[in-house]
Amino acid sequence: MKKDLCALLRGNSYPGRGILLGRSADGRSAVIAYFIMGRSENSRNRIFEETEDGIRTKAFDESRMTDPSLIIYHPVRRLENGTTIVTNGDQTDTIRQHMAEGRCYRHGLHSRTFEPDGPNWTPRISGVVQPDGKYALSILKSLDGDESCCCRYFFEYEAPAAGTGHFISTYQGDGNPLPSFTGEPIPVAVDAPDASALAKELWESLNPDNKVSLFVEYIDLEHGNRHTTICNKHC
């Protein structure tokens, strides 16, 4: 049963970073959304900036950036064949390299593990959207907080139904340590007619203190045209 993603987000003060992949209500567009949140000043001091093949995170105030590791990366990158990669870390580049060389995204992720930020051991969440709208989500996380064991889960959706998406985030909610996301990606309804409408809904649903940036993109499956909206708390 599809859930209301905005309601889920309103009820969760800190899902961390989240990926939504799906199909628009009219079935004509692939849908991508990615957001980041932050509890520390360093994490909150960021914006999304467009690049030639996607977006990158960037310090809003360079003078306040204390540690760029794990928070400065390319969340979204596109391959020449139209495939789109979206992740919560520099595994975007790992996946891109493997796919550009003709290998599967899974091969790239088997060379990576969760983030080295104990005791949270933040999961690495990743998504891949094919030009025909098929998509995959994955999560690499510790086994119940055991840093010696990395669990890799892959979820592939070959025929996504119109108006349907799947959502995955790094955390179940706030806590200390932060509890990792559990279970399969959550099936959610995708009703917004375009990228700007979905971005407005999601942005207003994220916790106002912790939200940092949001990227939403609708990709026309017939022509490949992309319609993108970016929201940054720091403008």
Task: State phi, psi for 195 to the nearest 5 degrees.
Answer: -65, -40
Q: How confident is the model at residue 15 (pLDDT cuts 50, 70, 90)?
A: very high
Closest C-alpha to 179, from 131, 145, 136, 133: 145
Residue 235's pLDDT is 83
20 token code pair = 């939504």
Q: How confident is the model at residue 48 (pLDDT cuts 50, 70, 90)?
A: very high
Q: What's the mean per-residue pLDDT of the chain? A: 97
What pTM was estimated for this model as a whole?
A: 0.98
**Is the confidence at residue 37, as pLDDT, over 90?**
yes
pLDDT digits (tens, 9 = 90+) for 73-92: 999 999 999 999 999 999 99
